[in-house]
Chains A and B, each alone.
Chain A
Amino acid sequence: MALLSIRNLSVEFATASGSFRAVDAIDVTVDPGDILAIVGESGSGKSVSMLALMGLLPWTATVTADEMRFDGQDLRAMSPRTRRRIIGKDIAMIFQEPMSSLNPCFTVGFQIKEGLKKHLGLDARARHARALELMEMVGIPDPARRLSAYPHQMSGGMSQRVMIAMAIACRPRLLIADEPTTALDVTIQAQILDLLTALQAETGMALILITHDMGVVAETARRVSVQYAGQKVEEQPVGPLFAAPHHPYTSALLAALPERATTRLLPTIPGVVPGQFDRPPGCLFAPRCTFADATCQNTPPPVQPPARGLARCHYPLGGPA
């Protein structure tokens, strides 16, 4: 049975100029121990869909879904109180900006131990022991001293390690990492990714990695879900996706990788993701797609069968299934 299964998830934000659909009919399935990467440009709804799962969206957001199950439990039917027993314990999340994601008023130790008390009910001594263990697991030197440090006394990389320690404190079965390396130096990025994959292998938890870095995807993920303008446009295991993308958008993303560039000029995808006011009536990618014709402009595309990577396209690459 899938650990996480989400069907037809949509998120709409009420804005001053009407409602804006940030996530549009997304399906997500994650098996125990799986590593799923969700990729896409800024504004493609990657983070919003996961924040919806965590119940962390502001009140201006309306979340609808046909199904939202974690470990067989229906998250939609739960009271907020019941849901908070799962959030932070079985599903944990780390964020893009480690420096601002830690509360400046409390010590690192306090913030790590907080979840241990709430979810596992450990006493002070057990909490301290577990916190030390966690700090060692995420590779923080001199953990005993670091526990009483305040966030402003730590670097970005250290802060992200603390965030990871906090997230895995209660042995979650699913960890969501929302662009965990974007705000960090390149050298630190690799360390944090290695740490995440090592912890994943060690604990057997499932990992959802939100990123816009195809290089990160190739190194870490097993399956890839490509999102564009709030829609999932393709989903494949990582090998076949890199070898034979079926959606023109995926193909264009891969072509934009510097390692794959064949010309002196790096290929780019012209234009930007459509916003609230310029959503095309047909395929959302049509205005930027080199293969688009009149059908693409006017008719929303169907979802292709798994053999064509569930591509949301009229003319998937590799021919009709």
Chain B
Amino acid sequence: MIRYLLARLLTFVPTFLGVTLISFAFIRVLPGDPIIVMAGERGLTEERYAELVTQFGFDKPLPVQFWTYLTGVLQGDLGVSYVTKRPVWDEFFALFPATLELSLCAILFAIAIGLPAGVIAAVNRGKLFDRALMSTALVGYSMPIFWWALLLIIVFSGNLGWTPVSGRMGLLYFFEPVTGFMLIDSVLSGQSGAFGSAVRHLILPTIVLGTIPLAVIARQTRSAMLEVLSEDYIRTARAKGLSPLRVNGLHALRNAMIPVVTVIGLSVGTLLAGAILTETIFSWPGIGKWMVDSIFRRDYPVVQGGLLLIASMVMVVNLTVDILYGFINPKIRARK
């Protein structure tokens, strides 16, 4: 197992280098000069422009610029934001809890509904619930996120007034972040009503961000369950006189979990990508919104660093999924 882990960690190296190169190249391919963008409508003199070009190192050839960046990254230095002048690391960790909180809620929401729905659909194959669920899942999967978000905002925030339109916390409450997770910080602050406000702010973004993973998980669970339910060992479990709940929920689901865990892992990648849209729509101060803003500002270090960190998280999630396989199915553990 340890050897397997080390081997997997080694494969991170080329991926990591590749992501570094792509993020470096990607932002430079975009038209637009960060110095001009920074200067805005005021404009700037040619001397000042030349000065800044030298300061940011844009006068050097691209390979040299990349080498400087790469050596910095390897030493743990992601650079400093052109706009805020704060280190990318600091900005990332200030904003990341917001994204993590939203993503966790979204994936939990997707699993909590998608998994049981998929199981029930598979057990009642071809019946009304199955057909209704599968068509709904198709709609959910095909729905453009921004449109779905606007629709929910119009109905629940606009017409019904049940949920806030944007942000993470009502204006009535203020407290210093401790963990960065609003759900936890609001409780720690001791202000009554703060937790409720945090929850209400989370509801719509969670639903919007969780919709696609929910549809994917439900469909994958259903098809994996259908395959497992025809296995001999399910007949054995039923021959023992076990209840349908135990047969389907334990004997079948455990075996069906491998492909489901895979799509959950892949969904995490989708979540981070989806978070960019969702966070922008709901003015959620997370890394998605941070990335979008930085791209518009041509804030090279932030875009590069942010992409690198997001890619690293996806890699770690994939590794976690691989390790989970072994826990779900001992046969896979043995093969490793």
Contact = CB atoms under 8 A, between A and B. Distances in A.
Interface string B225-252: 0000001110111111111000000010
Contacts of B334: 150, 152-153
A102 B242 contact: no
Contact of B240 (A55, A104, A150, A166): A166
Given A101-B233, A105-B254, A88 B239 contact: yes
B255 A105 contact: yes
A94 to B, nearest CB: 8
Given A88-B242, A114-B242, A118-B241, A163 B236 contact: yes
B182 to A, nearest CB: 38
Interface stretch (B37-45, B133-141, B207-215, B323-331): B323-331
B interface, how many residues as a size bin? Answer: 20 to 34
A35 to B, nearest CB: 20
A65 B331 CA distance: 43
Contacts, number: 74
A103 B246 CA distance: 13
A106 B231 CA distance: 15
A111 B232 CA distance: 14
A55 B239 CA distance: 8
B121 to A, nearest CB: 15
A7 interface: no
A84 B236 contact: no
B328 A103 contact: no
Interface in A85-125: 85-89, 92-93, 95, 97, 100-106, 111, 114-115, 118-119
Given A101-B232, A104-B233, A104-B330, A115 B240 contact: yes
B238 to A, nearest CB: 6
Nearest to B238: A56
Nearest to B242: A118
B243 A84 contact: yes
Contacts of A103: 233, 236-237, 251, 254-255
Given A88-B241, A100-B231, A105-B254, A150 B236 contact: no
Q: Chain B at the A interface: mostly helix, strand, loop or mixed?
A: helix
A150 B330 contact: yes
Interface residues of A, number: 31
B240 A97 contact: no
Given A103-B255, A104-B330, A105-B330, A89 B241 contact: yes
Contacts of A86: 241
Contacts of A97: 232
Given A104-B331, A105-B328, A152-B330, A114 B233 contact: no
Contacts of A88: 239-242
A61 interface: no
A54 interface: yes
Q: Which of A105, A111, A119 counts the most chain B CB atoms within 10 A?
A: A105
Contact of B241 (A84, A105, A152): A84
Interface in B234-291: 235-243, 251, 254-255
B331 A84 contact: no
Given A88-B239, A88-B242, A114-B240, A150 B331 contact: yes
A31 to B, nearest CB: 23
Given A95-B235, A101-B235, A102-B233, A152 B240 contact: no
A87 B251 contact: no
B47 to A, nearest CB: 71
Contacts of A166: 236, 240
A95 B236 contact: yes
B239 A104 contact: no
Nearest to B243: A84
Given A97-B232, A100-B232, A104-B255, A92 B239 contact: yes
A233 to B, nearest CB: 28
A6 B236 CA distance: 23
Contacts of B233: 100-104
A150 B331 CA distance: 8
Nearest to A84: B241
Q: Considering residues B232, B239, B251, B334, which has the most beta carbons from chain A within 10 angstroms of its beta carbon?
A: B239
A95 B254 CA distance: 22
A169 to B, nearest CB: 9
B28 to A, nearest CB: 50
Contacts of A114: 240, 242
Nearest to B330: A150
Interface of A: 54-56, 81, 84-89, 92-93, 95, 97, 100-106, 111, 114-115, 118-119, 150, 152-153, 163, 166
26 contacts: A56-B239, A81-B243, A85-B241, A86-B241, A87-B239, A87-B240, A88-B239, A88-B242, A95-B239, A100-B233, A101-B233, A101-B235, A102-B233, A103-B233, A103-B251, A103-B255, A104-B255, A105-B251, A105-B254, A105-B255, A105-B328, A114-B242, A115-B240, A150-B330, A150-B334, A152-B330
Given A88-B239, A150-B331, 5 more contacts: A54-B239, A55-B238, A104-B329, A111-B236, A166-B236
